[in-house]
């Protein structure tokens, strides 16, 4: 655990805006269930204030053990920390920082959150090694990292803007290819996993029809959107007889490594936490 007041450990989530963040709900629930008299504070930090905030964190004047980092600071903070791990480097974004022996360390836990959610709800999800990843934004990068780490050998990125998919296939290398949306059906052929990383279907907005019939037998469809819990893409997949996993657990599991770093305890992703956050 980081150097700070052991009687009242403190962590933060910084962003602009910050009021929408669900992270306080998650970490305060874990603090309460673990009986830790700590705090987890949403802190509104503008881009122009980031340097000052990080300086106060490093010199201990703010007495935080660390915290979460959200938009628009996920890239900018990478240049301000003392140590950034390979995961955050490959994803190109930081979402968790902590102090360790006076040094500010950084990682990205979204990749862990994605895999841990599927490990919990659909063990063996990574047995087949072929995936379709729909979307090429920030969330897509974390999922590509997770799939590469689990040994996926064929990952087909499909995106409305082909150039963004190409950028990611260059970044993630061997076995990762880039495709436009009109290739979606073709590249789905024989895939074991379909991941929606786009915002399509968020809030229940209608999505264009997707034909999942070309996926491999027993393929799994998952979504990073979790509002609604059963997204239009998941409903479409279920109506075509496929297994589905919702994205809420990714949000909950990505929070766990930070809690461990700041508060020194391993938290559990329970049904009551799911009910609280949704």
**Contact by Cβ (8 Å): 131, 156:** yes
Indicate if 74 belongs to the active site.
yes
Whole-angstrom distance, CA of residue 11 vs CA of residue 151: 34
Site string for ligand ATR, 112-141 (x = CB under 6 A): -----------------------xxxxxx-
Q: From the CB of residue 17, how many other CB atoms can be counted at a distance below 10 Å?
A: 11
Q: From the CB of residue 19, how many other CB atoms can be counted at a distance below 10 Å?
A: 8
Among 23-31, 50-58, 159-167, 253-261, which window interacts with ligand ATR (CB under 6 A)?
159-167
- Residues in region 191-230 near ligand ATR by CB under 6 A: 197-200
**Contact by Cβ (8 Å): 264, 99:** no
**Contact by Cβ (8 Å): 167, 136:** yes
Residue where the block lists tokens 């998952």 = 222
40 annotated as belonging to a binding site for a ligand:
no
86 annotated as belonging to a binding site for a ligand:
yes
143 annotated as belonging to a binding site for a ligand:
no
User: In this structure, what token pair is assigned to residue 169?
Assistant: 């296939």
**Nearer to ligand ATR among residue 97 and residue 139 (C-beta):** 139
Give the residue numbers marked as catalytic. Answer: 74
> Given the rule CB under 6 A, which residues bind ligand ATR?
135-140, 159-161, 164, 197-200
Query: Binding site membership for shikimate: which residues?
Result: 21-23, 70, 95, 110, 226, 254
Q: Which residues are annotated as a binding site?
A: 21-23, 70, 86, 95, 110, 135-139, 159-164, 224, 226, 247, 254
């Amino acid at each position: 655990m980081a150097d700070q007041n052991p009687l009242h450990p403190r962590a933060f989530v910084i962003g602009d805006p910050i009021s929408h963040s669900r992270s306080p709900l998650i970490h305060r629930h874990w603090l309460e269930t673990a009986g830790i008299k700590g705090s987890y504070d949403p802190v509104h930090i503008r881009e122009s204030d980031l340097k000052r905030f990080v300086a106060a964190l490093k010199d201990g004047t703010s007495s935080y053990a660390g915290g979460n980092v959200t938009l628009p600071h996920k890239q900018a903070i990478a240049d301000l920390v003392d140590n950034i791990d390979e995961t955050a480097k490959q994803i190109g974004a930081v979402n968790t920082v902590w102090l360790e022996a006076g040094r500010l360390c950084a990682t990205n836990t979204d990749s862990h959150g994605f895999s841990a959610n599927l490990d919990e709800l659909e063990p063996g999800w990574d047995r087949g090694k072929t995936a379709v990843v729909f979307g090429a934004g920030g969330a897509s990068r974390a999922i590509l990292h997770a799939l590469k780490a689990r040994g996926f050998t064929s990952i087909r990125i499909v995106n409305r803007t082909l150039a963004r998919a190409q950028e990611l296939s260059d970044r993630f290398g061997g076995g990762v290819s880039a495709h436009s949306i009109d290739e979606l059906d073709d590249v789905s052929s024989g895939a074991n996993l379909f991941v929606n990383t786009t915002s399509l279907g968020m809030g229940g907005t209608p999505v264009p029809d997707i034909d999942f019939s070309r996926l491999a037998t027993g393929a799994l469809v998952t979504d990073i959107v979790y509002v609604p819990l059963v997204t239009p893409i998941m409903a479409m997949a279920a109506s075509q007889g496929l297994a589905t996993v919702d994205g809420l657990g990714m949000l909950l599991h990505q929070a766990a490594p930070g809690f461990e770093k700041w508060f020194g305890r391993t938290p559990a992703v329970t049904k009551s936490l799911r009910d609280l956050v949704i």
